[in-house]
Amino acid sequence: MSIEIVIGLPHLNEGPILARARRLQQPMLISANALSSWSNRRGRREWTGWRLGQLANAYGLAALDLDSAGFVAMARYRGFPWSVDDYFHLASAFPFRRIASLDYCTETEVAADREEVLDRISRTIRANRDCRERAADLGLLDRLMPVIQGRRPSDYERCIDALWLSVQPGTVIGVGSMCRREIAGPEGLIAVIEHLDRILPAGVTLHAFGVKGSALPYLAPFSGRIASIDSQAYGIAARRDAYRRRVSKSDALVAEHMERWTHQQLVRLTEPPRRLRHQAVRSCSSFPANAWEAAIRHARAEIRDLIESGDLLGPVL
């Protein structure tokens, strides 16, 4: 089974990018943020809803997946501007092939320490459960893609254990916080994928968000487990090319880089598989320095339990 290359689209405006996407006939992915509408009427930038009309331009694509824009929401807005109900209003407006659950990424830009990583794992678990409930209500459960988060391989296992209802044969599970991760190392991409491959039941496959193309030969040994990867890395290459050539980063230029990048990834899939030497995960746990730190850790752990159980009032967004 070959790993599927999913191309991240910057927008759904009619023009060179969409025309090239139709010609390539690769599955595409669009971020919820790319379909967002904003207003500055009250002196600050506020989210005002979805530009649903753009979805009419998605005709002729091989497939279109929906991403919740977790990293952008955390890095740019410090949280989701939209609720679970808002998100599923968008999800139900188009026959998306996959609808990624809302999740809380754990990259160092948004989670500076271990406690924050653990907090975000709990919020991801709660968001997945809320999304599953909405998807079931709307008849979208068969298209919902659960998303797991973490920093260490064991963090992703914790998500899997908490979301066992969603871990069924035929399910594709999204693996988040991958795009800035090294390939090797005890917390690297391959360490996470290898661990998930060991613990997941047969028939459950993975979608790795934002994986570097250079990782594909190392992912090849897991092609039976990994359904797909996605990336919009070609956009960075287009920006650098425009800067070097002192031209504007037009959609026509971006479309050229998108096609070039796609062909490069398809070629990489034909390279001989590569394997990394196994690297044991080093324990990074530390004991509290004093009774006060121990009490704070205990309190945060109790809050995380409440978040996951849904006993805290209101959605955790």
Q: What is the pLDDT of residue 73?
A: 86
Task: Using alpha carbons, select from 47, 80, 138, 118 the residue that is nearest to residue 299.
Answer: 118
**What percent of the chain shows pLDDT beyond 70?**
87
For residue 313, pLDDT beyond 60: no
For residue range 114-158, list pLDDT tens digits in order.
999 999 999 999 999 999 999 999 999 999 999 999 999 999 999
For residue range 30-73, list pLDDT tens digits in order.
999 999 999 988 888 899 999 999 999 999 999 999 999 988 88
Q: What is the pLDDT of residue 78?
A: 85
For residue range 240-265, list pLDDT tens digits in order.
999 999 999 999 999 999 999 999 99
**143 or 280: whose pLDDT is higher?**
143
Beta strand spans in 144-264 (E): 144-145, 147-148, 172-175, 205-208, 226-231
Q: How confident is the model at residue 283 (pLDDT cuts 50, 70, 90)?
A: very low
The per-residue pLDDT of the chain, averaged, comes to: 89
Task: Using alpha carbons, select from 196, 143, 209, 130 the residue that is nearest to residue 170.
Answer: 143
Eight-class DSSP state of 102: P
Eight-class DSSP state of 52: G
Instruction: Give ∠ CA 118-101-170 in degrees, rounded to 5.
Output: 110
pTM beyond 0.75: yes
For residue range 208-229, list pLDDT tens digits in order.
999 988 999 999 999 999 999 9
Q: What is the pLDDT of residue 298?
A: 46
What is the bridge-based pairing of β-strands 36-39 and 46-50? antiparallel
| Long-range contacts of the stretch 233-236 (C-beta < 8 A, 24+) | 233/261, 234/7, 234/258, 234/260, 234/261, 234/262, 235/10
Do the Cβ atoms of 50 and 38 come closer than 8 Å? Answer: no
Place of tokens 């487990």: 225
Q: What is the pLDDT of residue 77?
A: 87
* H helix intervals, 52-92: 70-77, 84-91
